[in-house]
Amino acid sequence: MKQSVENSIQKALRLIAEKNGMIRTREALQAGIHPSILYKLRDQGHLESVSRGVYRLADRQPISNPDIVTVAARIPRAVVCLVSALAFHEITTQIPHAVSIALERGAEPPRIEYPPVRIHNFSGESLTAGVEEHIMDGLTVRIYSPEKTLADCFKFRNQIGMDVVLEALRLYRERKTFNARELMKYARICRVAAVMKPYIEAVL
């Protein structure tokens, strides 16, 4: 019996290592790993709980963007957007108090206690356009590009504040390769071209 448990522990450790050191309980169950093995690994100090149902090898380097990585692990279909995406691209001085994510309109709201999540419902090309994939701590995280994020911010300007939007446009102009064509492409997709155009022309 003891040998069987040890074999299960080693199997679980190998599987988690193959998944870049992070695994969800559902994935472990699908791979034939019993929850009791995960709990044993946690109690022995081999695993740490990142969020409910998400575990990570304890000997790995600290997570660089823990909130975003945790949300990506829990909600793989989500796309990081708005102020959270601005912060990732370093074109805001705002510190997000929640991870802003885009989900398809009508999607079932995710159950996640921590970190705080702010859900925005997108649809069609507004949801799918401008998505970049970044590898963080071995996990693929979906984030809108700087240009798509700026267009989204203009669209949601009444929610996040026009001062935040204009600061982001100014910092984008200073810190990124300014791409007016890309900005206007996403402005049209987000139906804010008439709003954005004067501001883009003003910073050219």
Phi, psi for 133 (deg, rounded to 5): -115, 125
Please tell me the distance from the alpha carbon of residue 185 to that of residue 190, in angstroms, as a whole number: 9
pLDDT at 33 (0 to 100): 79
pLDDT at 23 (0 to 100): 77
Alpha helices by DSSP H, 19-145: 25-30, 35-43, 66-74, 82-88, 124-128
Task: Name the 3-class secondary structure at 185.
Answer: helix
Report the range of poorest mean pLDDT among 10-19, 113-122, 133-142, 178-187. 10-19
Phi, psi for 17 (deg, rounded to 5): -60, -40
Please tell me the distance from the alpha carbon of residue 58 to that of residue 187, in angstroms, as a whole number: 43
pLDDT at 35 (0 to 100): 77
pLDDT band at 75 (very low <50, low <70, confident <90, very high): confident
Residue 116 or 172, more confident: 172
3-state helix, strand, coil in the chain (%, to 5): 50, 20, 30
Amino acid letter, 154: F
pLDDT at 128 (0 to 100): 95
Q: Average of pLDDT values for 51-62?
A: 72
Q: Which two tokens stand for residue 74?
A: 């829990």
Task: Check whether 1 has a pLDDT greater than 60.
Answer: no
pTM of the model: 0.74
pLDDT at 62 (0 to 100): 64
| Complete domains list, the chain, with CATH | 2-57 (1.10.10), 66-203 (no CATH)
pLDDT tens per residue, range 31-50: 777 778 877 888 878 777 77
- 119 strand-pairing partners: 101
Q: Is 16 exposed, middle or buried (0-12, 13-18, 19+ CB in 10 A)?
A: buried
| Structural element, H or E, at residue 20 | none
pLDDT band at 64 (very low <50, low <70, confident <90, very high): low
Phi/psi-derived region of residue 151, left when phi > 0, alpha when psi is between -120 and 50, beta in every other case: alpha
Q: Average of pLDDT values for 63-73?
A: 81
pLDDT at 47 (0 to 100): 78
Task: Name the 3-class secondary structure at 199.
Answer: helix
